[in-house]
Amino acid sequence: MSDNSESHRVAHTLGESEARLQALISSLDDLVFELDENGTYLGIWTANDALLAAPRSELLGRTLAETLSYEVGLGLMKIIRGVLETGRPEIWEYCLEVPAGIRWFQSRVAPIACSEGSSRSVCLLVRDITERKVAEQEISRLLSREQLLSRLSEALPVGLFEIDRTGRITFNNDRMRAIAGYPPAGTEEGLMSSVVAEDRPVLEAALAATLANQPVDDLEIRLMVANTQRVCEMSMRPLTNATGVVTGAVGYLSDVTDRAQLHRELEIKASVDKLTSCLNREASLELVEAMTTAPKTPGEGSAVIYVDLDDFKSVNDRLGHAAGDRLLVAAADRLRGAARKGDAVGRLGGDEFLVICPRVESSAQAVRIAERVAAATEVTIDVGTGAVELRTSVGVAWTTESIDADAFLAQADSAMYESKRTRRKGVTLFATAGCDASPLVPGAQLPVATPSGVTDEANAVASVSRGPVPREATDAAKTHDAGSA
């Protein structure tokens, strides 16, 4: 009997404690949740259901991920895992739309002690801090310009500055001095001294525009600080007095060197053929266009060398595409080795390559460069599954005139097909009438370096053709090459 009485007394005491706890929680404006380690709602206590993301009946038994926005649910789950791992409470603020509207909340997550072997859980205490947030925003709005600049200076990872109409920098933060590297009591001249010479006119024009009441955004300038070049981004806004007169400018300076470097690397990747590391087709055509339209000194010419791998199809057919890829890579390496410093090697696709040569003085020099290319691509290559004789057909076009890039490539392509059609060892030059001051004449033969393995020097010549080779002939040459493969 005494045991039953004791049990009833304990149960009664626990019931009273539970009731007091419920009354205490209900008197608070806070929301209290019990969650398991998976974020499932086990219990909910609040006096203000309008702050719940959904009715209690729709929350209990469901998870944070199912009832909250993706970002908030993910953030809270990350905190819960951290709390259960460290045993230390964590606080987090977030914004969430609930039936009462868009509200700001501060959450405190703490572990709930449990007996060994039982499921782990946490207590999530959530407080509505919307009024505090609104007050903070109002205070920020009412702050004076100097206070605002000071607060921004402390919080933002960018350089901030104010400059008056006389060029005196009246305010700058530590980050500004770290980026630009000039004394705290700086001037416009002090800032300009850090700017790369080519960019100073751009900054001067931007500052003049701002003082003329025109905002400037995303201006990219380069600074030289401690012998290190930095790429920076600047924006400026005019400052006006009560009558609207511009009294100076305020701006920010951000160090974007890493971003600029990444952008350059991405541009390089976008312009490079992945297999051979040559320029890809688009980048090659753009470079030829830029070379042929760029201003030149009198007598300065440009050359394009068109290279086609002979019997390439047979390598793929006999030894597989992996062997073909190795042959392409080897050919690209040898083309780069034969090109001059300043020349560029591109892959147009398949087995066709370009060597783009600016600043070529004469057609004879163009032929000599092409000869090196032809000689470098007459070699035996180990492609892993066997040895392959690398052979190429080479054509070169040269001009001193401004010429359409497609037409220039067509000339080199025509010369290459003439080499393939005649199957002559050496190179073919496409010469444009009136463009060459060298003593070359139509039909003349130019001595070239004899490729390795060639004993008949009589065949080691370059033919000179004026005008395009008939397409029927070049197509026949390609067909013959593929058939012999």
- 140 pLDDT band (50/70/90 cuts)? low
Angle 77-80-83 (CA atoms, 0-180°, nearest 5)?
155
Which of the pair, 393 or 152, is modelled with greater confidence? 393
* pLDDT of the residue at 431: 62
Question: What's the pLDDT at 476?
Answer: 44
Is there a shared CATH topology between the 2-134 domain and the 272-484 domain? no
Bridge partners of residue 394, in order along the sequence: 307, 427
In this model, does residue 69 exceed pLDDT 70?
yes
Give phi and psi for 226, each to the nearest 5.
55, 45
Task: Determine the residue type at 354.
Answer: L
What percent of the chain shows pLDDT beyond 90?
34
In this prediction, residue 355 carries a pLDDT of 96
Residue 107 has pLDDT above 80, yes or no: yes
Greater pLDDT, 455 or 134: 134
Between 176 and 8, the more confident residue is 176
Q: How confident is the model at residue 470 (pLDDT cuts 50, 70, 90)?
A: very low
Q: Rounded distance, CA 56 to CA 52, Å?
A: 8
- Which segment of 132-136, 361-365, 393-397 scores lowest on mean pLDDT? 132-136
Does position 323 have pLDDT exceeding 80, yes or no? Answer: yes
Assign domain 2-134 one CATH number from 3.40.50.300, 3.30.450.20, 3.20.20.70, 1.10.8.80. 3.30.450.20
Rounded Cα gap, residues 480 and 116, in angstroms? 83
**Average pLDDT rounded to a whole number, residues 153-165:** 82
Report pLDDT for 171. Answer: 81
Res. 373: pLDDT tops 90: yes
Which of 30-44, 264-278, 336-350, 467-481 has the least mean pLDDT? 467-481
> Each residue of 300-314: pLDDT tens digit?
889 999 999 988 888
- Between 294 and 70, residue with greater pLDDT: 70
Q: How confident is the model at residue 179 (pLDDT cuts 50, 70, 90)?
A: confident
Integer Cα distance of 408 and 295 in angstroms: 16
H or E element: which one contains 145?
helix 145-155
Domain boundaries along the sequence of the chain: 2-134, 143-260, 272-484
**Is the pTM of the predicted complex or chain greater than 0.75?**
no
- Looking at the domain 143-260, which fold is it? Beta-Lactamase (3.30.450)
Q: Is the pLDDT of residue 200 over 50?
A: yes
State yes or no: pLDDT of 481 exceeds 50.
no
Report the Cα 175 to chain-centroid distance in Å: 25
pLDDT tens digit sequence for 202-254: 998 999 999 999 999 989 889 888 888 889 999 999 999 888 899 999 888 88
The answer, yes or no, to whether residue 483 has pLDDT greater than 50, is no
Please tell me which of 222-226, 449-453, 456-460 the model is most confident about, judged by mean pLDDT.
222-226
pLDDT class of 144 with cuts at 50, 70, 90: low
pLDDT over threshold 80, residue 125: yes
More confident residue, 479 or 8: 8
Q: Kindly tell me if the per-residue pLDDT of 367 is higher than 70.
A: yes
Distance CA 68, CA 302 (A): 65
Evaluate if residue 316 carries a pLDDT over 80.
Answer: yes
By CB neighbour count within 10 A (0-12 exposed, 13-18 middle, 19+ buried), where does 32 fall? middle
Per DSSP, the residues of 393-453 read: EEEEEEESS---HHHHHHHHHHHHHHHHHHT-SSEEEEE-TT---SS--TT-EEE-PPPTT
Q: What's the pLDDT at 447?
A: 36
Band (168; pLDDT cuts 50, 70, 90): confident
pLDDT tens-place string over residues 8-50: 665 656 666 656 656 555 556 788 899 999 999 999 988 888 8
Query: Which stretch of DSSP H or E encloses residue 465?
Result: strand 461-466
Q: 337 vs 475, which has greater pLDDT?
A: 337
- The pair of three-digit structure tokens given for residue 312, joined into one six-digit string: 């390439």
Counting Cβ atoms within 10 Å, is residue 261 exposed (0-12), middle (13-18) or buried (19+)?
exposed
CATH homologous superfamily of 272-484: Reverse transcriptase/Diguanylate cyclase domain (3.30.70.270)
Residue 142, pLDDT score: 63
Mean per-residue pLDDT of the chain: 80
Q: What is the pLDDT of residue 432?
A: 57
